[in-house]
């Protein structure tokens, strides 16, 4: 069983184009940690936190890396995909509607992301290029509408002048400044806080590989 875990992890690293040292650094370990685990059997088993991080990174069940048996599947929360016109570019008037089938998220992962109420979660698609290279046009993002507190450095979904935007935001004097990661897009000063509403915080993003 342990040898199967080492072989599986070795294959995941090889197929992803990563190397032992980069995956070790991902875990906050010394560069030789993963190589020693795979090649020398030290440590004998992956720590639970390391296993969870690796499974999330490679998007595989923890059972593949020696976790709980696949006969006990993770509890999944169905997160709706909605079309709300959230834009990382010019912007669009918010029109909310269901967009296809919901996506299942591991409830343990959601807890790690700090989610308190899954009913407040939704998945929306980014439009525009102003948040590149962090978010690209067409990316799916997980938004927690139950967390509308401004967090410095985080990405939020904002309502500004009846337009929903995916941006970073910071306080400036008595107002705010709405900023983009793509510096080709100018920052937007907001002098009147009443003009701005924080709809939720972006917790996760995913994209289709072409």
Write down the pLDDT at residue 9. Answer: 92
CA 80 to CA 97: how far, in whole Å?
Answer: 10
Write down the pLDDT at residue 69. Answer: 52
Q: Please state, rounded to an integer, the average pLDDT across all residues of the chain.
A: 84
Q: Which residue has the higher pLDDT, 84 or 41?
A: 41
pLDDT digits (tens, 9 = 90+) for 136-163: 998 999 999 988 888 888 999 998 887 8
pLDDT digits (tens, 9 = 90+) for 109-131: 999 899 989 989 999 888 889 99
pLDDT digits (tens, 9 = 90+) for 126-136: 888 999 999 99
CATH 1.10.3470 for domain 2-65, yes or no, is no
Q: Which of 36, 143, 33 is nearest to 88 (CA)?
A: 143
SS3 115: coil
* Mean predicted confidence (pLDDT) in 64-73: 64
Rounding to the nearest 10 degrees, give the CA dihedral for residues 45, 47, 50, 56. Answer: 80
* Mean predicted confidence (pLDDT) in 7-23: 91
* Mean predicted confidence (pLDDT) in 43-55: 88
* Mean predicted confidence (pLDDT) in 81-102: 57
Q: Above pLDDT 70, what percent of the chain?
A: 87
Flag the least confident range among 45-54, 81-90, 115-124, 170-179. Answer: 81-90
Q: In terms of CATH, what superfamily is 76-206?
A: Umud Fragment, subunit A (2.10.109.10)
pLDDT exceeds 80 at position 167:
yes
Domain ranges of the chain: 2-65, 76-206
| CB neighbourhood size of 88 (10 A) | 26
């Amino acid at each position: 069983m342990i040898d199967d875990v080492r072989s599986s992890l070795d294959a995941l690293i090889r197929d992803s184009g990563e190397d032992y040292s980069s995956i070790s650094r991902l875990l906050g370990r010394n560069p030789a940690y993963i190589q020693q685990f795979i090649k020398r059997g030290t440590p004998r088993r992956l720590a639970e936190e390391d296993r969870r991080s690796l499974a999330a990174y490679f998007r595989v069940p923890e059972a593949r890396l020696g976790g709980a048996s696949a006969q006990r599947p993770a509890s999944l929360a169905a997160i709706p995909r909605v079309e709300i016109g959230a834009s990382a570019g010019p912007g669009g008037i918010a029109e909310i509607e269901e967009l296809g089938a919901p996506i299942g998220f591991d409830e343990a992962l959601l807890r790690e992301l700090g989610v308190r109420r899954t009913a407040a979660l939704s998945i929306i698609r980014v439009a525009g290029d102003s948040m590149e290279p962090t978010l690209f046009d067409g990316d799916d993002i997980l938004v927690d509408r139950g967390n509308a507190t401004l967090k410095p450095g985080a990405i939020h979904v904002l309502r500004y002048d009846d337009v929903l935007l995916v941006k970073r935001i910071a306080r400036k004097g008595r107002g705010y400044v709405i900023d983009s990661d793509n510096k080709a897009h100018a920052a937007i000063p907001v002098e009147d806080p009443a003009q701005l509403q924080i709809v939720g915080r972006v917790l996760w993003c995913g994209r289709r590989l072409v």
